[in-house]
Homo-oligomer: A and B are copies of this chain.
Amino acid sequence: MEFSSKLIEKAVNEMSQLPGIGKRTALRLVLHLLKQPKEQTGFLSQALLNMREDIKFCENCHNISDTKVCEICANSTRNHQTICVVEDIRDVMAIENTGQYKGIYHVLGGKISPIEGVGPSQLNISSLVEKVKSGKVIEIIFALSSTMEGDTTNFYIYKQIADSEIVISTIARGISVGDELEYADEITLGRSILHRVPFEKTFKSN
């Protein structure tokens, strides 16, 4: 792609570093900004800079936060003895949106993935193990992706905390609500039979 302006070229190059944004999309976005008032570009740049410079990670759960301890960890009405282990902040948001969980979280910051060069030492695993060993935790819920990497990460952590006397559970795998059986894959369907729940439980939301 040839540009008639070095300024445009540089902006497009930087923009296309973002995941899922190719050169053509980047050019479309840059030309859009050019048509908008100058302030919009200013606001966008400033918001990104502020975010990157000033963002903090919660000391306790590694969730993203504006303060030293995130709102969830600082909330004394929540159950601090149950920890839900998730990959990243998006999973925290997703679970919070369900309104079904009243414990706290622990954000790993990713999952073990040799292909992407992510080992256990790059994740917030040791602080989780310490929390478990401190004896203040009653239950750990694994809520990682149902993939090879997610399972590996689950198992790696499990091995380190298996000798503690706490409940270790994982979120249920099964047929999604609204799905038809004939389209479900065998493994999911098999697990959903294996881990069937008493019918009465489906009446209650908690």
Contacts and interface: CB of A to CB of B under 8 A. Distances in A.
9 contacts: A7-B66, A8-B89, A15-B48, A19-B29, A31-B88, A31-B89, A33-B52, A44-B48, A45-B45
Interface in A21-56: 21, 25, 27-34, 38, 40-55
B49 A42 contact: yes
Given A4-B92, A10-B47, A93-B3, A38 B66 contact: no
A141 interface: no
Interface of A: 1-8, 10-11, 13-15, 17-21, 25, 27-34, 38, 40-55, 63-66, 70-72, 88-90, 92-93, 96-97
A12 to B, nearest CB: 9
Contacts of A96: 2
B52 A48 contact: no
A1 B93 contact: yes
